[in-house]
Structure 1
Amino acid sequence: MSLQLDLLRHGETTGGNGFRGSTDDQLTEHGQTQMQQALADFGGWDLVISSPLQRCQAFAEQFAEARGLPLRIEADLRELHFGDWEGRNAAEILFEDEQALGQFWNDPYGFTPPAAEPVREFANRVMTTVGRLSSELAGQRVLVITHGGVMRLLLARARGLPEAHLLQVEVPHASLKGLSCVAGEFSEVAPCRLS
Protein backbone atom coordinates (compact mmCIF):
# COMPACT_ATOMS: atom_id res chain seq x y z
CA MET A 1 0.00 0.00 0.00
CA SER A 2 1.19 3.47 -0.79
CA LEU A 3 1.41 6.53 1.41
CA GLN A 4 0.46 9.78 -0.27
CA LEU A 5 2.42 12.75 1.04
CA ASP A 6 1.32 16.22 0.02
CA LEU A 7 4.26 18.49 0.79
CA LEU A 8 3.67 22.16 1.51
CA ARG A 9 6.56 24.56 1.92
CA HIS A 10 6.05 27.34 4.45
CA GLY A 11 5.28 30.83 3.13
CA GLU A 12 7.24 34.06 3.34
CA THR A 13 8.96 34.65 6.69
CA THR A 14 9.88 37.72 8.73
CA GLY A 15 13.57 36.92 8.17
CA GLY A 16 13.35 37.33 4.39
CA ASN A 17 15.17 35.22 1.84
CA GLY A 18 18.46 33.46 2.39
CA PHE A 19 19.76 30.52 4.39
CA ARG A 20 17.12 30.39 7.15
CA GLY A 21 17.86 26.79 8.21
CA SER A 22 17.39 26.42 11.96
CA THR A 23 16.64 30.12 12.40
CA ASP A 24 13.15 30.06 13.91
CA ASP A 25 11.43 32.84 11.94
CA GLN A 26 7.72 33.49 12.03
CA LEU A 27 5.53 33.76 8.95
CA THR A 28 4.60 37.19 7.70
CA GLU A 29 0.91 37.92 7.17
CA HIS A 30 1.56 37.46 3.45
CA GLY A 31 3.24 34.10 4.16
CA GLN A 32 0.20 32.94 6.10
CA THR A 33 -2.06 33.97 3.20
CA GLN A 34 0.19 32.18 0.68
CA MET A 35 -0.21 28.92 2.58
CA GLN A 36 -3.98 29.30 3.01
CA GLN A 37 -4.37 29.95 -0.72
CA ALA A 38 -2.13 27.01 -1.63
CA LEU A 39 -4.41 24.60 0.29
CA ALA A 40 -7.79 26.18 -0.48
CA ASP A 41 -8.84 23.60 -3.12
CA PHE A 42 -7.17 20.59 -1.54
CA GLY A 43 -8.10 18.13 1.19
CA GLY A 44 -8.90 14.51 1.97
CA TRP A 45 -5.98 14.11 4.37
CA ASP A 46 -5.99 11.77 7.33
CA LEU A 47 -3.26 13.59 9.23
CA VAL A 48 -1.12 16.74 9.24
CA ILE A 49 2.59 16.41 9.99
CA SER A 50 4.78 19.46 10.60
CA SER A 51 8.34 20.51 11.18
CA PRO A 52 8.77 21.94 14.70
CA LEU A 53 10.01 25.30 13.43
CA GLN A 54 7.35 27.97 13.97
CA ARG A 55 7.19 29.02 10.30
CA CYS A 56 5.64 25.56 9.77
CA GLN A 57 4.17 24.53 13.11
CA ALA A 58 2.13 27.65 13.87
CA PHE A 59 0.27 27.36 10.56
CA ALA A 60 -0.03 23.57 10.89
CA GLU A 61 -1.71 23.91 14.30
CA GLN A 62 -4.27 26.40 12.98
CA PHE A 63 -4.92 24.45 9.80
CA ALA A 64 -5.29 21.06 11.53
CA GLU A 65 -7.71 22.54 14.06
CA ALA A 66 -9.77 24.26 11.35
CA ARG A 67 -10.03 21.04 9.33
CA GLY A 68 -10.51 18.76 12.35
CA LEU A 69 -7.37 16.76 11.60
CA PRO A 70 -4.86 15.21 13.98
CA LEU A 71 -1.45 16.89 14.04
CA ARG A 72 1.95 15.32 14.59
CA ILE A 73 5.27 17.17 14.93
CA GLU A 74 8.27 15.40 13.37
CA ALA A 75 11.56 17.00 14.48
CA ASP A 76 13.57 15.31 11.73
CA LEU A 77 11.57 17.07 8.99
CA ARG A 78 13.14 20.41 9.97
CA GLU A 79 15.35 22.32 7.55
CA LEU A 80 19.07 21.77 6.98
CA HIS A 81 21.19 23.67 9.53
CA PHE A 82 23.48 26.06 7.61
CA GLY A 83 26.03 26.69 10.35
CA ASP A 84 27.90 29.98 9.85
CA TRP A 85 25.62 30.80 6.91
CA GLU A 86 22.47 30.75 9.06
CA GLY A 87 20.33 33.85 8.61
CA ARG A 88 22.49 35.22 5.79
CA ASN A 89 21.70 35.57 2.10
CA ALA A 90 23.64 34.35 -0.91
CA ALA A 91 24.78 37.87 -1.91
CA GLU A 92 26.52 38.35 1.46
CA ILE A 93 28.25 34.98 1.25
CA LEU A 94 29.17 35.54 -2.39
CA PHE A 95 30.93 38.79 -1.43
CA GLU A 96 32.88 37.11 1.38
CA ASP A 97 33.60 33.67 -0.07
CA GLU A 98 32.52 33.21 -3.68
CA GLN A 99 34.40 29.91 -3.98
CA ALA A 100 32.64 28.30 -0.99
CA LEU A 101 29.20 29.32 -2.21
CA GLY A 102 30.00 27.98 -5.70
CA GLN A 103 31.18 24.68 -4.24
CA PHE A 104 27.97 24.31 -2.25
CA TRP A 105 25.73 25.09 -5.25
CA ASN A 106 27.65 22.70 -7.51
CA ASP A 107 28.17 19.84 -5.05
CA PRO A 108 25.91 20.15 -1.97
CA TYR A 109 26.68 16.59 -0.84
CA GLY A 110 30.43 17.10 -1.22
CA PHE A 111 30.82 20.57 0.31
CA THR A 112 29.55 21.53 3.76
CA PRO A 113 29.37 25.22 4.76
CA PRO A 114 31.39 26.06 7.90
CA ALA A 115 29.82 24.51 11.06
CA ALA A 116 26.79 23.33 9.03
CA GLU A 117 24.97 20.01 9.02
CA PRO A 118 26.35 17.91 6.13
CA VAL A 119 23.73 17.42 3.42
CA ARG A 120 24.26 13.65 3.54
CA GLU A 121 23.37 13.59 7.27
CA PHE A 122 20.35 15.83 6.56
CA ALA A 123 19.27 13.46 3.76
CA ASN A 124 19.68 10.42 6.02
CA ARG A 125 17.51 11.88 8.81
CA VAL A 126 14.79 12.97 6.38
CA MET A 127 14.77 9.68 4.45
CA THR A 128 14.79 7.62 7.67
CA THR A 129 11.78 9.57 8.93
CA VAL A 130 9.87 9.29 5.65
CA GLY A 131 10.67 5.57 5.48
CA ARG A 132 9.25 5.08 8.97
CA LEU A 133 6.14 7.10 8.11
CA SER A 134 5.70 5.14 4.88
CA SER A 135 5.53 1.87 6.87
CA GLU A 136 3.51 3.25 9.76
CA LEU A 137 0.94 5.20 7.71
CA ALA A 138 0.61 3.02 4.59
CA GLY A 139 -2.70 3.60 2.83
CA GLN A 140 -3.17 7.10 4.26
CA ARG A 141 -3.04 10.60 2.80
CA VAL A 142 -0.88 12.99 4.80
CA LEU A 143 -0.22 16.71 4.51
CA VAL A 144 3.38 17.54 5.47
CA ILE A 145 4.19 21.17 6.24
CA THR A 146 7.92 21.57 5.89
CA HIS A 147 10.83 23.38 4.25
CA GLY A 148 12.40 23.95 0.86
CA GLY A 149 15.36 21.67 1.60
CA VAL A 150 13.19 18.73 2.67
CA MET A 151 11.01 19.12 -0.41
CA ARG A 152 14.00 19.47 -2.77
CA LEU A 153 15.47 16.27 -1.38
CA LEU A 154 12.26 14.23 -1.74
CA LEU A 155 11.43 15.64 -5.18
CA ALA A 156 14.99 15.02 -6.40
CA ARG A 157 14.68 11.38 -5.29
CA ALA A 158 11.28 11.03 -6.98
CA ARG A 159 12.70 12.50 -10.21
CA GLY A 160 15.81 10.32 -10.10
CA LEU A 161 18.13 13.33 -10.18
CA PRO A 162 21.85 13.02 -9.43
CA GLU A 163 23.01 14.39 -6.07
CA ALA A 164 24.73 17.35 -7.73
CA HIS A 165 21.35 18.59 -9.03
CA LEU A 166 19.69 18.82 -5.60
CA LEU A 167 19.72 22.63 -5.44
CA GLN A 168 18.34 22.94 -8.98
CA VAL A 169 14.93 21.69 -7.80
CA GLU A 170 12.77 24.80 -7.47
CA VAL A 171 10.44 25.03 -4.48
CA PRO A 172 9.00 28.55 -4.06
CA HIS A 173 7.28 29.62 -0.85
CA ALA A 174 3.93 27.84 -0.30
CA SER A 175 4.60 25.27 -3.07
CA LEU A 176 2.37 22.20 -2.84
CA LYS A 177 3.68 18.94 -4.34
CA GLY A 178 2.38 15.38 -4.12
CA LEU A 179 4.40 12.18 -3.70
CA SER A 180 3.41 8.54 -3.55
CA CYS A 181 5.68 6.39 -1.36
CA VAL A 182 5.77 2.62 -1.82
CA ALA A 183 8.48 0.48 -0.21
CA GLY A 184 10.97 3.34 -0.08
CA GLU A 185 10.36 4.39 -3.69
CA PHE A 186 8.89 7.80 -4.56
CA SER A 187 6.91 9.05 -7.52
CA GLU A 188 5.34 12.46 -8.11
CA VAL A 189 1.57 12.56 -8.11
CA ALA A 190 -1.08 15.27 -8.04
CA PRO A 191 -1.92 16.55 -4.53
CA CYS A 192 -5.30 15.51 -3.06
CA ARG A 193 -8.05 17.81 -4.34
CA LEU A 194 -11.25 18.45 -2.44
CA SER A 195 -14.05 16.34 -3.91
Structure 2
Amino acid sequence: MLNTKIVLLRHGACEGGNILRGHTDVVLSLAGKEQLNVAFSTLENSKTCNLAKNSTADLVVSSPLLRCSESAQAFAMQHNIDFVEQPGFMELNFGDWDGQLFSELYLQFAEQLDSYWANPWQHTPPNGETMQAFESRVDKAWDALLEQHKGKVIVLLTHGGVIRHLMAKSLGLKQCSGIYSALKLPYAATVVIDALDDGNQRYLTLNWGLE
Protein backbone atom coordinates (compact mmCIF):
# COMPACT_ATOMS: atom_id res chain seq x y z
CA MET A 1 0.00 0.00 0.00
CA LEU A 2 1.34 3.41 -0.99
CA ASN A 3 -0.18 6.66 0.21
CA THR A 4 0.35 9.79 -1.85
CA LYS A 5 -0.49 13.03 -0.06
CA ILE A 6 -1.48 16.02 -2.17
CA VAL A 7 -1.73 19.43 -0.52
CA LEU A 8 -4.04 21.53 -2.69
CA LEU A 9 -3.49 25.25 -2.25
CA ARG A 10 -5.55 27.94 -3.96
CA HIS A 11 -3.78 31.08 -5.15
CA GLY A 12 -4.29 34.41 -3.35
CA ALA A 13 -6.28 37.48 -4.34
CA CYS A 14 -5.34 38.97 -7.70
CA GLU A 15 -4.93 42.24 -9.52
CA GLY A 16 -7.53 43.18 -12.09
CA GLY A 17 -10.60 43.80 -9.99
CA ASN A 18 -13.74 41.67 -9.72
CA ILE A 19 -13.34 39.81 -13.00
CA LEU A 20 -14.06 36.27 -14.13
CA ARG A 21 -10.58 34.79 -14.11
CA GLY A 22 -10.04 31.71 -16.16
CA HIS A 23 -7.07 31.74 -18.49
CA THR A 24 -6.66 35.51 -18.06
CA ASP A 25 -3.12 35.79 -16.75
CA VAL A 26 -3.00 38.25 -13.86
CA VAL A 27 -0.56 38.54 -10.96
CA LEU A 28 -1.30 38.43 -7.26
CA SER A 29 -2.16 41.63 -5.43
CA LEU A 30 -0.18 42.60 -2.33
CA ALA A 31 -3.02 41.17 -0.23
CA GLY A 32 -2.89 37.96 -2.25
CA LYS A 33 0.83 37.57 -1.69
CA GLU A 34 0.32 38.01 2.05
CA GLN A 35 -2.48 35.44 2.03
CA LEU A 36 -0.16 32.90 0.43
CA ASN A 37 2.68 33.79 2.80
CA VAL A 38 0.40 32.93 5.72
CA ALA A 39 -0.65 29.68 4.04
CA PHE A 40 2.95 28.72 3.32
CA SER A 41 3.95 29.49 6.91
CA THR A 42 1.18 27.21 8.18
CA LEU A 43 2.27 24.52 5.74
CA GLU A 44 5.90 24.79 6.78
CA ASN A 45 5.02 24.05 10.40
CA SER A 46 2.36 21.40 9.88
CA LYS A 47 2.70 17.67 10.50
CA THR A 48 1.69 17.13 6.89
CA CYS A 49 4.68 18.98 5.53
CA ASN A 50 7.05 20.07 8.30
CA LEU A 51 9.52 22.17 6.34
CA ALA A 52 10.63 24.10 9.40
CA LYS A 53 12.64 21.04 10.45
CA ASN A 54 13.25 18.55 7.67
CA SER A 55 11.56 18.78 4.30
CA THR A 56 8.91 16.12 3.87
CA ALA A 57 7.59 17.58 0.60
CA ASP A 58 8.92 15.89 -2.52
CA LEU A 59 7.46 18.05 -5.26
CA VAL A 60 5.77 21.40 -5.88
CA VAL A 61 3.38 21.46 -8.86
CA SER A 62 1.73 24.58 -10.23
CA SER A 63 -0.62 25.85 -12.85
CA PRO A 64 1.51 27.89 -15.30
CA LEU A 65 -0.67 30.98 -14.78
CA LEU A 66 1.23 33.72 -12.94
CA ARG A 67 -1.13 33.91 -9.97
CA CYS A 68 0.03 30.39 -9.12
CA SER A 69 3.42 29.83 -10.70
CA GLU A 70 5.37 32.79 -9.32
CA SER A 71 4.69 31.99 -5.68
CA ALA A 72 4.92 28.22 -6.17
CA GLN A 73 8.34 28.45 -7.80
CA ALA A 74 9.63 30.81 -5.11
CA PHE A 75 8.39 28.45 -2.39
CA ALA A 76 10.04 25.45 -4.08
CA MET A 77 13.35 27.29 -4.49
CA GLN A 78 13.30 28.46 -0.87
CA HIS A 79 13.01 24.88 0.36
CA ASN A 80 15.05 23.19 -2.39
CA ILE A 81 12.08 21.14 -3.61
CA ASP A 82 11.61 20.00 -7.21
CA PHE A 83 9.21 22.24 -9.13
CA VAL A 84 7.12 21.61 -12.24
CA GLU A 85 4.38 23.53 -14.08
CA GLN A 86 1.44 21.48 -15.34
CA PRO A 87 -0.99 23.13 -17.82
CA GLY A 88 -3.57 20.47 -17.01
CA PHE A 89 -4.17 22.22 -13.69
CA MET A 90 -5.08 25.58 -15.25
CA GLU A 91 -8.48 27.10 -14.49
CA LEU A 92 -11.37 26.63 -16.89
CA ASN A 93 -11.25 28.79 -20.01
CA PHE A 94 -14.36 31.01 -19.97
CA GLY A 95 -13.99 32.06 -23.59
CA ASP A 96 -15.58 35.43 -24.39
CA TRP A 97 -16.40 35.95 -20.71
CA ASP A 98 -12.83 35.42 -19.59
CA GLY A 99 -11.27 38.48 -17.97
CA GLN A 100 -14.51 40.49 -18.02
CA LEU A 101 -15.91 42.34 -14.99
CA PHE A 102 -18.77 40.48 -13.33
CA SER A 103 -20.81 43.70 -13.25
CA GLU A 104 -20.48 44.06 -17.03
CA LEU A 105 -21.19 40.40 -17.66
CA TYR A 106 -24.41 40.50 -15.66
CA LEU A 107 -25.57 43.58 -17.53
CA GLN A 108 -25.24 41.71 -20.82
CA PHE A 109 -25.55 38.01 -20.03
CA ALA A 110 -27.51 37.65 -16.77
CA GLU A 111 -29.75 34.82 -18.01
CA GLN A 112 -26.90 32.89 -19.62
CA LEU A 113 -24.74 33.26 -16.51
CA ASP A 114 -27.53 32.03 -14.23
CA SER A 115 -28.03 29.01 -16.48
CA TYR A 116 -24.30 28.33 -16.47
CA TRP A 117 -23.95 28.42 -12.67
CA ALA A 118 -27.04 26.20 -12.31
CA ASN A 119 -25.72 23.52 -14.67
CA PRO A 120 -22.30 24.15 -16.26
CA TRP A 121 -22.36 20.70 -17.90
CA GLN A 122 -25.28 21.75 -20.11
CA HIS A 123 -24.26 25.36 -20.69
CA THR A 124 -20.88 26.60 -21.93
CA PRO A 125 -19.57 30.18 -22.07
CA PRO A 126 -19.40 31.48 -25.66
CA ASN A 127 -16.20 30.18 -27.26
CA GLY A 128 -15.25 28.72 -23.87
CA GLU A 129 -14.16 25.32 -22.60
CA THR A 130 -16.91 22.83 -21.84
CA MET A 131 -17.08 21.57 -18.27
CA GLN A 132 -16.62 18.05 -19.58
CA ALA A 133 -13.39 19.04 -21.35
CA PHE A 134 -12.17 20.90 -18.26
CA GLU A 135 -12.79 17.98 -15.91
CA SER A 136 -11.25 15.52 -18.36
CA ARG A 137 -8.15 17.72 -18.63
CA VAL A 138 -7.78 17.95 -14.85
CA ASP A 139 -8.39 14.20 -14.45
CA LYS A 140 -5.68 13.38 -16.96
CA ALA A 141 -3.13 15.61 -15.18
CA TRP A 142 -4.22 14.25 -11.79
CA ASP A 143 -3.90 10.59 -12.81
CA ALA A 144 -0.47 11.19 -14.34
CA LEU A 145 0.70 13.00 -11.20
CA LEU A 146 -0.40 10.18 -8.90
CA GLU A 147 1.02 7.49 -11.17
CA GLN A 148 4.43 9.17 -11.48
CA HIS A 149 4.83 10.14 -7.82
CA LYS A 150 3.34 7.32 -5.77
CA GLY A 151 4.01 7.55 -2.06
CA LYS A 152 5.21 11.16 -2.14
CA VAL A 153 4.05 14.42 -0.57
CA ILE A 154 3.06 16.93 -3.26
CA VAL A 155 2.13 20.59 -2.93
CA LEU A 156 -0.17 21.65 -5.79
CA LEU A 157 -0.81 25.38 -6.19
CA THR A 158 -3.81 25.81 -8.45
CA HIS A 159 -7.26 27.37 -8.92
CA GLY A 160 -10.65 27.27 -7.28
CA GLY A 161 -12.33 25.35 -10.09
CA VAL A 162 -9.60 22.72 -10.17
CA ILE A 163 -9.71 22.21 -6.40
CA ARG A 164 -13.50 21.98 -6.39
CA HIS A 165 -13.42 19.29 -9.08
CA LEU A 166 -10.78 17.28 -7.21
CA MET A 167 -12.80 17.58 -3.99
CA ALA A 168 -15.88 16.28 -5.82
CA LYS A 169 -13.80 13.48 -7.32
CA SER A 170 -12.54 12.40 -3.90
CA LEU A 171 -16.13 12.32 -2.60
CA GLY A 172 -17.44 10.37 -5.59
CA LEU A 173 -19.67 13.23 -6.75
CA LYS A 174 -20.42 13.71 -10.43
CA GLN A 175 -22.01 16.77 -12.02
CA CYS A 176 -22.74 18.34 -8.63
CA SER A 177 -23.29 22.02 -9.43
CA GLY A 178 -23.24 22.99 -5.76
CA ILE A 179 -19.52 22.16 -5.58
CA TYR A 180 -18.92 25.06 -7.97
CA SER A 181 -21.74 27.46 -7.10
CA ALA A 182 -22.36 26.99 -3.35
CA LEU A 183 -19.04 25.84 -1.86
CA LYS A 184 -17.04 28.81 -0.63
CA LEU A 185 -13.32 28.28 -1.15
CA PRO A 186 -11.35 31.31 0.12
CA TYR A 187 -8.18 32.58 -1.47
CA ALA A 188 -5.14 30.63 -0.19
CA ALA A 189 -7.41 27.86 1.13
CA THR A 190 -5.74 24.52 1.81
CA VAL A 191 -7.28 21.09 1.22
CA VAL A 192 -5.44 17.77 1.52
CA ILE A 193 -6.25 14.61 -0.44
CA ASP A 194 -4.71 11.26 0.43
CA ALA A 195 -4.53 8.76 -2.43
CA LEU A 196 -4.05 5.19 -1.21
CA ASP A 197 -2.93 2.79 -3.93
CA ASP A 198 -3.03 -0.96 -3.33
CA GLY A 199 -1.71 -1.84 -6.79
CA ASN A 200 -5.16 -2.51 -8.23
CA GLN A 201 -7.27 0.42 -7.13
CA ARG A 202 -6.88 3.95 -5.82
CA TYR A 203 -8.83 5.25 -2.83
CA LEU A 204 -9.16 8.98 -2.19
CA THR A 205 -9.72 10.61 1.18
CA LEU A 206 -10.55 14.31 1.56
CA ASN A 207 -9.08 16.19 4.52
CA TRP A 208 -10.16 19.78 5.20
CA GLY A 209 -6.99 21.64 6.13
CA LEU A 210 -3.65 20.55 7.50
CA GLU A 211 -2.73 18.44 10.48
After TM superposition, the score normalised by the length of structure 2 is 0.86
Amino acid at match of 1:31: G
Q: Cα distance, 1:159 vs. partner? A: 2.8
| Percent identity between the two aligned chains | 31
Residue among 185, 189, 192 paired with 1:175: 189
- Contact 2:191–2:210 under 8 Å retained in 1: no
Residue among 155, 165, 169 paired with 2:178: 165
Amino acid at match of 1:170: K
Amino acid at match of 2:189: S
Change (3 A) 1:185 1:99: farther
Aligned length: 193
Q: Deviations over 1:136-171 (max 9, x none)?
A: 111011000001110111112223334132312322
Q: Distance in 2 between matches of 1:89 and 1:177?
A: 28
Amino acid at match of 1:97: F
- Contact 1:134–1:184 under 8 Å retained in 2: no
Q: Distance in 1 between matches of 2:202 and 2:186?
A: 26
Residue among 47, 67, 72 paired with 1:55: 67
Q: Cα distance, 1:133 vs. partner? A: 1.0
Residue among 139, 149, 153 paired with 2:161: 149
Amino acid at match of 1:186: L
Residue 122 (1) aligns with residue 123 (2): no
SS of equivalent residue, structure 2 residue 19? coil
- Contact 1:26–1:54 under 8 Å retained in 2: yes
Q: Deviations over 1:15-60 (max 9, x none)?
A: 1333111111011121111001012122231110001011111101
Q: Cα distance, 1:92 vs. partner? A: 2.1
Q: Where does structure 1 lack aligned partners over 5 or more consecutive residues?
A: none
Aligned counterpart, 1:28: 29
Q: Deviations over 1:90-147 (max 9, x none)?
A: 3322221221001111001111010101111010010111011111111011000001
Q: Distance in 2 between matches of 1:79 and 1:65?
A: 24
Aligned counterpart, 1:135: 147
Residue among 117, 124, 127 paired with 1:105: 117
Q: Give the 4+ runs in structure 1 shifted more than 3 A.
A: 182-185, 190-193
After TM superposition, the score normalised by the length of structure 1 is 0.92
Change (3 A) 1:188 1:116: same
Q: Distance in 2 between matches of 1:185 and 1:15?
A: 39
Q: Deviations over 1:38-94 (max 9, x none)?
A: 121222311100010111111011111111111011111111110011112333222
Q: Distance in 2 between matches of 1:131 and 1:184?
A: 10
Q: Cα distance, 1:4 vs. partner? A: 1.0
CA RMSD of superposed structures (Å): 1.6
Q: Distance in 1 between matches of 2:82 and 2:23?
A: 25
- Contact 2:8–2:190 under 8 Å retained in 1: yes
Q: Distance in 2 between matches of 1:49 and 1:176?
A: 14
